[in-house]
Structure 1
Amino acid sequence: MSRRRLLMGLSMLPLATGPAAAAERRPMPENARVYILWPADGQTIRGGFWVRMGLTEGGIAPAGVAKALTGHHHLLVNAELPPMDQPIPNDRNHLHFGLGQTEARLELPPGRHTLQLLLGDEEHVPHDPPLMSKRITITVLP
């Protein structure tokens, strides 16, 4: 699957445009945790791979569905954390899993890459407190 096709399939809802304003942040339990199940930090991978995402003490719901203590995954690829009071960007470095996916196949070019999960609410805004995984580094071989 081409990277362009993958990214088009992951972006399910458009983000609001216009001047950036602080968004209302939804609560999540203090003990909630988001994490990358696979790949592991430091892993070397050949070609395309599946990334598997996890969440404890909270639920997964699609973008646009307002339900307490839920959200959906956003995968930051080679990117720093975005502002926590605004919708998470939607571009090739901020992949949205707005259908509630917990795994996806990625095609990254050969080299070192960083991956980090950030949970967003129905409007793609990080929760309060924000739920982010440890940032991991992987190496992709041709």
Structure 2
Amino acid sequence: MKTLLLGTAAALALAGTAFADGHRNAAPEGAQASIIAPEDGATLTNPVTILFGLEGMGVAPAGTEAENTGHHHLLINTDPDSLDMTTSLPATDQIVHFGGGQTQVTTDLPAGTHTLQLLLGDLNHVPHDPPVLSEAITITVE
């Protein structure tokens, strides 16, 4: 997989930071992340452009303390039930941080079928309570 742009060095430094007491910021009722494009079931060729959506909250870079905001994390072939929602999300090839407040990415994905899902994180990359999670989509890259 090609390396994705992950935002500022400060945002990356925060990726390993969590609240010691397990505090999570509340998400407003009805807040919803979504993948605007590609469509579920799409067959694509590289590079793949993924557009992020968010309703009921605002997007802010990691480290920005502002009520009802967060930044996107793209889950690639990752079951959100396997994640610890009480601490900072790790930065991996399967959990891609967009700490700069990005709302889209263009990248190469390996050929095959992939499940994509967005999870909003707060200023410290900790998922909100309740988690602001998009529906999962499945795409095939030829």
Normalising by structure 2, report the TM-score: 0.89
- The alpha carbon displacement at 1:17 in A equals 6.5
For 2:12 and 2:32, locate their aligned partners in 1 and report how far apart those are by CA, in whole Å.
Answer: 24
- How many Å separate the matches in 2 of 1:17 and 1:60? 19
Distance 1:22 1:76 in 2: 25
Matched, 1:137 2:133: no
**Paired residues for 1:1-142 under 5 Å:** 3-4=2-3, 6=4, 9-10=5-6, 12-14=11-13, 15-16=15-16, 23-81=22-80, 82-141=83-142
Matches of 1:22 and 1:56 in 2, distance apart? 28
Shift of 1:23: 2.3
Q: Tell me, which stretches of 5 or more residues in structure 1 are unaligned?
A: none
The answer to whether the 8 A contact 1:22-1:85 is kept is: no
CA separation of 1:97 and 1:17: change in aligned 2, threshold 3 A:
closer
RMSD: 1.8
Q: In structure 1, how many angstroms separate the alpha carbons of the residues matched to 2:60 and 2:120?
A: 11
CA distance in 2, matches of 1:94, 1:16: 13
Between the two proteins, the alignment pairs up a number of residues equal to 136
The structure-2 alpha-carbon separation of the partners of 1:110 and 1:125, relative to structure 1 and needing over 3 Å to count, comes to same
Separation (CA, whole Å) in 2 of partners of 1:65 and 1:17? 14
Tell me which amino acid in the other structure corresponds to 2:87. Answer: Q
Change (3 A) 1:42 1:22: farther
5+ residue gaps, structure 2, are none
Q: For residues 69-124 of structure 1, what are the alpha-carbon distances to aligned partners after superposition, in whole Å with 9 as ceiling and x for unaligned?
A: 00000000011111111111101000000010001112101100010000000000
State the secondary structure of the residue aligned to 2:12.
coil
Q: Which runs of 4+ in 1 moved over 2 A?
A: 14-18, 20-23
The structure-2 alpha-carbon separation of the partners of 1:123 and 1:37, relative to structure 1 and needing over 3 Å to count, comes to: same
